[in-house]
Amino acid sequence: MAQNRPVDAIAQRTLELVNIPSQSRWEGEAVEYVRKAMPTAPAYDDDTVLFWPGRIVLAGHLDTVPAQDNYPGAIEDGWVVGLGASDMKGGCAVMLELARAGARFGFLFFGREELPAGESALPPFFEREGLECELVVMMEPTDNEIHAGCLGNLNARLTFRGESAHSARPWTGVNAIALAIDALAPLAHVEPRDVEIQGLVFREVLSITEIVGGIATNVVPALATATLNFRYAPDRTPAEAEQVLRTLVGDSGELELLANAPPGGVAAESALVRALRDVGHLAVAPKQAWTPVAEFSAHGLDAVNFGPGATRYAHRQDERVEIAALRRSYDALARFAATVSS
Protein backbone atom coordinates (compact mmCIF):
# COMPACT_ATOMS: atom_id res chain seq x y z
CA MET A 1 0.00 0.00 0.00
CA ALA A 2 1.21 3.52 -0.80
CA GLN A 3 0.60 4.65 2.79
CA ASN A 4 3.38 2.38 4.11
CA ARG A 5 6.24 4.04 2.20
CA PRO A 6 8.84 4.95 4.87
CA VAL A 7 9.42 8.64 5.50
CA ASP A 8 13.20 8.30 5.54
CA ALA A 9 13.01 7.30 1.89
CA ILE A 10 11.18 10.56 1.14
CA ALA A 11 13.78 12.58 3.03
CA GLN A 12 16.61 10.82 1.22
CA ARG A 13 14.87 11.36 -2.10
CA THR A 14 14.49 15.06 -1.30
CA LEU A 15 18.17 15.36 -0.43
CA GLU A 16 19.20 13.62 -3.64
CA LEU A 17 17.10 16.08 -5.65
CA VAL A 18 18.46 19.05 -3.69
CA ASN A 19 21.99 17.91 -4.50
CA ILE A 20 21.33 17.98 -8.24
CA PRO A 21 21.99 21.52 -9.55
CA SER A 22 18.94 22.60 -11.52
CA GLN A 23 18.78 26.39 -11.72
CA SER A 24 16.24 27.47 -14.32
CA ARG A 25 17.40 26.59 -17.86
CA TRP A 26 19.86 23.99 -16.46
CA GLU A 27 17.42 21.29 -15.36
CA GLY A 28 18.75 18.48 -17.56
CA GLU A 29 20.40 16.40 -14.83
CA ALA A 30 17.31 16.61 -12.61
CA VAL A 31 15.09 15.59 -15.52
CA GLU A 32 17.31 12.57 -16.16
CA TYR A 33 17.18 11.64 -12.46
CA VAL A 34 13.36 11.68 -12.49
CA ARG A 35 13.24 9.78 -15.77
CA LYS A 36 15.30 6.96 -14.20
CA ALA A 37 13.55 7.03 -10.81
CA MET A 38 10.00 6.72 -12.14
CA PRO A 39 8.76 3.12 -12.44
CA THR A 40 7.56 3.50 -16.05
CA ALA A 41 8.54 5.53 -19.09
CA PRO A 42 6.71 8.83 -19.59
CA ALA A 43 4.00 9.25 -22.19
CA TYR A 44 5.53 12.63 -23.06
CA ASP A 45 9.22 13.54 -22.79
CA ASP A 46 10.43 16.80 -24.30
CA ASP A 47 11.87 20.19 -23.32
CA THR A 48 12.25 19.40 -19.57
CA VAL A 49 8.66 18.05 -19.43
CA LEU A 50 7.98 14.49 -18.28
CA PHE A 51 4.33 13.45 -18.21
CA TRP A 52 2.40 10.37 -17.12
CA PRO A 53 -1.38 10.76 -17.65
CA GLY A 54 -4.05 10.15 -15.02
CA ARG A 55 -7.43 11.26 -13.75
CA ILE A 56 -5.70 13.38 -11.07
CA VAL A 57 -2.30 14.80 -11.96
CA LEU A 58 0.37 15.78 -9.44
CA ALA A 59 2.60 18.50 -10.90
CA GLY A 60 6.00 19.77 -9.81
CA HIS A 61 8.75 21.95 -11.21
CA LEU A 62 12.36 20.76 -11.04
CA ASP A 63 14.13 24.11 -11.37
CA THR A 64 15.31 26.40 -8.60
CA VAL A 65 16.36 30.00 -8.17
CA PRO A 66 20.16 30.62 -8.16
CA ALA A 67 22.18 29.22 -5.26
CA GLN A 68 22.92 31.40 -2.22
CA ASP A 69 25.70 29.37 -0.58
CA ASN A 70 23.05 26.75 0.20
CA TYR A 71 24.32 23.91 -1.98
CA PRO A 72 24.89 21.01 -1.43
CA GLY A 73 22.19 20.11 1.08
CA ALA A 74 22.06 18.08 4.27
CA ILE A 75 19.67 16.43 6.71
CA GLU A 76 19.75 18.31 10.01
CA ASP A 77 17.56 17.99 13.10
CA GLY A 78 14.49 16.68 11.29
CA TRP A 79 14.85 18.93 8.24
CA VAL A 80 16.21 18.56 4.70
CA VAL A 81 18.24 21.74 4.21
CA GLY A 82 19.44 23.20 0.92
CA LEU A 83 18.62 24.93 -2.34
CA GLY A 84 15.12 24.09 -3.55
CA ALA A 85 14.21 21.94 -0.53
CA SER A 86 11.01 23.91 0.10
CA ASP A 87 10.38 25.20 -3.43
CA MET A 88 9.90 22.52 -4.46
CA LYS A 89 12.12 19.49 -4.49
CA GLY A 90 10.40 18.18 -1.36
CA GLY A 91 7.15 18.14 -3.32
CA CYS A 92 8.84 16.41 -6.26
CA ALA A 93 10.28 13.80 -3.90
CA VAL A 94 6.80 13.07 -2.55
CA MET A 95 5.59 12.65 -6.14
CA LEU A 96 8.38 10.20 -6.94
CA GLU A 97 7.78 8.11 -3.84
CA LEU A 98 4.04 7.98 -4.50
CA ALA A 99 4.68 6.85 -8.07
CA ARG A 100 7.13 4.17 -6.94
CA ALA A 101 4.57 2.95 -4.38
CA GLY A 102 1.92 2.58 -7.08
CA ALA A 103 -0.38 5.47 -6.14
CA ARG A 104 -2.95 6.01 -8.88
CA PHE A 105 -2.06 9.49 -10.03
CA GLY A 106 -0.81 11.08 -13.20
CA PHE A 107 2.51 12.90 -12.85
CA LEU A 108 3.89 16.00 -14.53
CA PHE A 109 7.44 17.25 -13.93
CA PHE A 110 8.66 20.36 -15.75
CA GLY A 111 11.27 23.12 -15.79
CA ARG A 112 11.71 26.89 -16.11
CA GLU A 113 8.94 27.67 -13.60
CA GLU A 114 11.06 30.16 -11.66
CA LEU A 115 11.40 32.37 -14.76
CA PRO A 116 8.75 34.76 -16.11
CA ALA A 117 5.62 32.86 -17.15
CA GLY A 118 6.33 33.27 -20.86
CA GLU A 119 9.51 31.20 -20.51
CA SER A 120 7.85 28.25 -18.77
CA ALA A 121 8.07 24.80 -20.35
CA LEU A 122 4.33 24.33 -19.92
CA PRO A 123 2.94 26.33 -22.91
CA PRO A 124 4.77 24.17 -25.51
CA PHE A 125 3.58 21.07 -23.66
CA PHE A 126 -0.03 22.25 -23.80
CA GLU A 127 0.35 23.07 -27.49
CA ARG A 128 1.85 19.70 -28.42
CA GLU A 129 0.29 17.26 -25.96
CA GLY A 130 -2.58 18.92 -24.14
CA LEU A 131 -3.75 17.76 -20.74
CA GLU A 132 -6.97 15.97 -19.89
CA CYS A 133 -7.69 15.31 -16.23
CA GLU A 134 -10.21 16.18 -13.51
CA LEU A 135 -7.79 17.90 -11.12
CA VAL A 136 -4.19 19.12 -11.06
CA VAL A 137 -2.45 19.30 -7.68
CA MET A 138 0.48 21.69 -8.08
CA MET A 139 2.89 20.77 -5.31
CA GLU A 140 4.12 24.26 -4.53
CA PRO A 141 5.13 25.03 -0.92
CA THR A 142 1.89 25.61 1.02
CA ASP A 143 2.75 24.41 4.55
CA ASN A 144 0.48 21.42 3.86
CA GLU A 145 -2.56 23.59 3.29
CA ILE A 146 -4.62 23.63 0.12
CA HIS A 147 -4.06 27.01 -1.52
CA ALA A 148 -6.78 27.66 -4.08
CA GLY A 149 -6.47 29.98 -7.05
CA CYS A 150 -3.67 32.50 -7.35
CA LEU A 151 -3.18 36.19 -8.05
CA GLY A 152 -2.51 37.61 -11.47
CA ASN A 153 0.93 39.19 -11.95
CA LEU A 154 1.25 42.34 -14.07
CA ASN A 155 4.63 44.05 -14.48
CA ALA A 156 4.97 47.47 -16.11
CA ARG A 157 7.56 50.20 -16.61
CA LEU A 158 6.69 53.84 -15.98
CA THR A 159 9.00 56.34 -17.67
CA PHE A 160 9.37 60.02 -16.82
CA ARG A 161 10.99 62.42 -19.28
CA GLY A 162 12.35 65.81 -18.29
CA GLU A 163 15.13 68.07 -19.56
CA SER A 164 18.72 67.85 -18.38
CA ALA A 165 20.48 70.84 -16.83
CA HIS A 166 23.39 71.78 -14.58
CA SER A 167 22.51 71.02 -10.96
CA ALA A 168 23.66 74.54 -9.97
CA ARG A 169 20.90 75.94 -12.21
CA PRO A 170 18.11 73.33 -11.96
CA TRP A 171 15.43 75.84 -13.02
CA THR A 172 16.83 75.73 -16.55
CA GLY A 173 15.77 72.07 -16.91
CA VAL A 174 13.06 69.65 -15.78
CA ASN A 175 14.11 67.05 -13.22
CA ALA A 176 12.77 63.64 -14.26
CA ILE A 177 13.37 62.25 -10.76
CA ALA A 178 11.24 65.02 -9.29
CA LEU A 179 8.50 64.11 -11.77
CA ALA A 180 8.81 60.50 -10.68
CA ILE A 181 8.58 61.38 -6.98
CA ASP A 182 5.38 63.36 -7.51
CA ALA A 183 3.78 60.64 -9.63
CA LEU A 184 4.88 57.63 -7.61
CA ALA A 185 3.90 58.93 -4.18
CA PRO A 186 0.16 58.25 -4.64
CA LEU A 187 0.90 54.87 -6.27
CA ALA A 188 2.98 53.87 -3.25
CA HIS A 189 -0.05 54.45 -1.04
CA VAL A 190 -2.74 52.66 -3.06
CA GLU A 191 -4.77 50.70 -0.52
CA PRO A 192 -4.91 46.90 -0.86
CA ARG A 193 -8.19 45.55 -2.21
CA ASP A 194 -9.64 42.46 -0.53
CA VAL A 195 -11.75 40.19 -2.72
CA GLU A 196 -13.70 37.20 -1.37
CA ILE A 197 -14.16 34.24 -3.72
CA GLN A 198 -15.65 30.93 -2.50
CA GLY A 199 -15.08 32.08 1.07
CA LEU A 200 -11.39 32.88 0.49
CA VAL A 201 -10.05 36.43 0.68
CA PHE A 202 -7.45 37.43 -1.91
CA ARG A 203 -5.56 40.69 -1.33
CA GLU A 204 -4.83 42.75 -4.45
CA VAL A 205 -1.74 44.97 -4.12
CA LEU A 206 0.34 47.40 -6.17
CA SER A 207 4.07 47.79 -5.46
CA ILE A 208 6.89 49.92 -6.86
CA THR A 209 9.72 47.41 -7.11
CA GLU A 210 12.48 49.28 -8.98
CA ILE A 211 13.46 52.89 -9.67
CA VAL A 212 16.35 54.15 -11.81
CA GLY A 213 17.45 57.69 -12.62
CA GLY A 214 20.40 60.06 -12.80
CA ILE A 215 23.73 60.09 -14.64
CA ALA A 216 25.97 62.25 -12.44
CA THR A 217 25.95 64.17 -9.17
CA ASN A 218 25.99 67.53 -10.97
CA VAL A 219 23.38 66.83 -13.65
CA VAL A 220 19.61 67.30 -13.35
CA PRO A 221 18.42 64.09 -15.04
CA ALA A 222 16.25 64.01 -18.12
CA LEU A 223 15.09 60.42 -17.60
CA ALA A 224 13.82 58.28 -14.72
CA THR A 225 12.04 54.94 -14.77
CA ALA A 226 10.15 52.85 -12.23
CA THR A 227 8.90 49.27 -12.34
CA LEU A 228 5.39 48.57 -11.07
CA ASN A 229 4.17 45.16 -9.94
CA PHE A 230 0.40 44.69 -9.73
CA ARG A 231 -0.79 41.46 -8.06
CA TYR A 232 -4.46 41.39 -8.98
CA ALA A 233 -7.32 39.28 -7.69
CA PRO A 234 -8.88 36.37 -9.59
CA ASP A 235 -12.07 38.35 -10.21
CA ARG A 236 -10.27 40.45 -12.83
CA THR A 237 -9.24 39.49 -16.34
CA PRO A 238 -5.76 40.48 -17.55
CA ALA A 239 -7.31 43.22 -19.71
CA GLU A 240 -9.24 44.59 -16.74
CA ALA A 241 -6.07 44.62 -14.63
CA GLU A 242 -4.25 46.57 -17.33
CA GLN A 243 -7.04 49.14 -17.43
CA VAL A 244 -6.97 49.49 -13.64
CA LEU A 245 -3.24 50.20 -13.77
CA ARG A 246 -3.63 52.71 -16.61
CA THR A 247 -6.29 54.53 -14.60
CA LEU A 248 -4.09 54.66 -11.50
CA VAL A 249 -1.11 55.99 -13.47
CA GLY A 250 -3.14 58.47 -15.51
CA ASP A 251 -0.98 60.80 -17.62
CA SER A 252 1.84 61.06 -15.08
CA GLY A 253 4.31 59.17 -17.27
CA GLU A 254 4.72 56.76 -20.17
CA LEU A 255 3.36 53.33 -19.17
CA GLU A 256 4.79 50.23 -20.88
CA LEU A 257 3.28 46.84 -20.04
CA LEU A 258 6.07 44.27 -19.72
CA ALA A 259 4.32 41.00 -18.78
CA ASN A 260 0.89 39.94 -17.61
CA ALA A 261 0.36 36.47 -16.16
CA PRO A 262 -3.36 35.80 -15.56
CA PRO A 263 -4.75 34.74 -12.19
CA GLY A 264 -5.73 31.17 -11.42
CA GLY A 265 -9.31 30.02 -11.15
CA VAL A 266 -10.53 29.21 -7.64
CA ALA A 267 -11.50 25.53 -7.40
CA ALA A 268 -11.93 25.34 -3.62
CA GLU A 269 -15.45 23.91 -3.89
CA SER A 270 -14.84 21.17 -6.46
CA ALA A 271 -15.76 17.67 -5.31
CA LEU A 272 -12.21 16.36 -5.66
CA VAL A 273 -10.70 19.28 -3.75
CA ARG A 274 -13.22 18.73 -0.96
CA ALA A 275 -12.25 15.05 -0.91
CA LEU A 276 -8.54 15.93 -0.61
CA ARG A 277 -9.34 18.44 2.14
CA ASP A 278 -11.41 15.95 4.11
CA VAL A 279 -9.15 12.91 3.81
CA GLY A 280 -6.06 14.93 4.74
CA HIS A 281 -7.78 17.14 7.34
CA LEU A 282 -6.34 20.10 5.47
CA ALA A 283 -6.98 23.82 5.84
CA VAL A 284 -7.91 25.75 2.69
CA ALA A 285 -6.52 29.24 2.02
CA PRO A 286 -6.15 31.64 -0.92
CA LYS A 287 -2.82 31.64 -2.81
CA GLN A 288 -1.37 35.10 -2.24
CA ALA A 289 1.06 34.80 -5.16
CA TRP A 290 1.20 33.58 -8.77
CA THR A 291 1.70 29.87 -9.52
CA PRO A 292 1.25 27.54 -12.53
CA VAL A 293 -2.29 26.89 -11.27
CA ALA A 294 -3.08 29.85 -13.53
CA GLU A 295 -1.68 28.02 -16.57
CA PHE A 296 -3.76 24.94 -15.84
CA SER A 297 -6.97 26.87 -15.21
CA ALA A 298 -6.42 28.84 -18.43
CA HIS A 299 -6.87 25.48 -20.18
CA GLY A 300 -10.13 24.76 -18.37
CA LEU A 301 -8.64 22.51 -15.68
CA ASP A 302 -9.41 22.57 -11.97
CA ALA A 303 -6.12 23.05 -10.12
CA VAL A 304 -4.97 23.80 -6.58
CA ASN A 305 -1.64 24.22 -4.78
CA PHE A 306 -0.71 21.68 -2.11
CA GLY A 307 2.75 20.70 -0.92
CA PRO A 308 5.06 20.06 2.02
CA GLY A 309 7.29 23.09 1.57
CA ALA A 310 7.20 25.94 4.10
CA THR A 311 6.35 29.20 2.37
CA ARG A 312 8.53 31.11 4.85
CA TYR A 313 11.64 29.24 3.65
CA ALA A 314 11.08 29.43 -0.13
CA HIS A 315 13.93 31.20 -1.96
CA ARG A 316 15.84 31.85 1.29
CA GLN A 317 19.51 31.18 1.93
CA ASP A 318 18.47 28.85 4.78
CA GLU A 319 15.86 27.07 2.64
CA ARG A 320 14.59 23.81 4.14
CA VAL A 321 11.66 21.40 4.38
CA GLU A 322 10.64 19.53 7.51
CA ILE A 323 10.73 15.74 7.23
CA ALA A 324 7.46 15.54 9.20
CA ALA A 325 5.88 17.80 6.57
CA LEU A 326 7.06 15.46 3.81
CA ARG A 327 5.39 12.61 5.68
CA ARG A 328 2.13 14.53 6.05
CA SER A 329 1.95 15.39 2.35
CA TYR A 330 2.75 11.82 1.36
CA ASP A 331 0.18 10.31 3.72
CA ALA A 332 -2.57 12.76 2.74
CA LEU A 333 -2.06 12.13 -0.97
CA ALA A 334 -1.80 8.34 -0.49
CA ARG A 335 -5.14 8.34 1.34
CA PHE A 336 -6.59 10.62 -1.33
CA ALA A 337 -5.47 8.24 -4.09
CA ALA A 338 -7.07 5.31 -2.27
CA THR A 339 -10.29 7.27 -1.71
CA VAL A 340 -10.82 8.47 -5.27
CA SER A 341 -9.81 5.18 -6.89
CA SER A 342 -12.02 2.98 -4.69
* DSSP H/E element including 285: strand 284-286
| Burial class of residue 336 in the structure, from the number of CB atoms within 10 Å of its CB (0-12 exposed, 13-18 middle, 19+ buried) | buried
Kindly name the residue from 27, 87, 97, 113 that is annotated as catalytic. 113
Whole-angstrom distance, CA of residue 324 vs CA of residue 33? 24
Whole-angstrom distance, CA of residue 258 vs CA of residue 10? 40
User: Is 113 noted as a catalytic residue in this protein?
Assistant: yes
User: Is 63 noted as a catalytic residue in this protein?
Assistant: yes
Whole-angstrom distance, CA of residue 99 vs CA of residue 105? 7
Give the bridge partners for 194, in sequence order.
203
In 115-233 the beta strands, taken as DSSP E runs, fall at 135-138, 146-148, 152-161, 165-166, 193-197, 200-213, 219-220, 223-232
Phi/psi for 32 (5° steps) reads -65, -40
DSSP-based three-state secondary structure for 154: strand
Whole-angstrom distance, CA of residue 107 vs CA of residue 257? 35
Kindly name the residue from 27, 63, 87, 204 that is annotated as catalytic. 63
Residues marked as catalytic? 63, 113
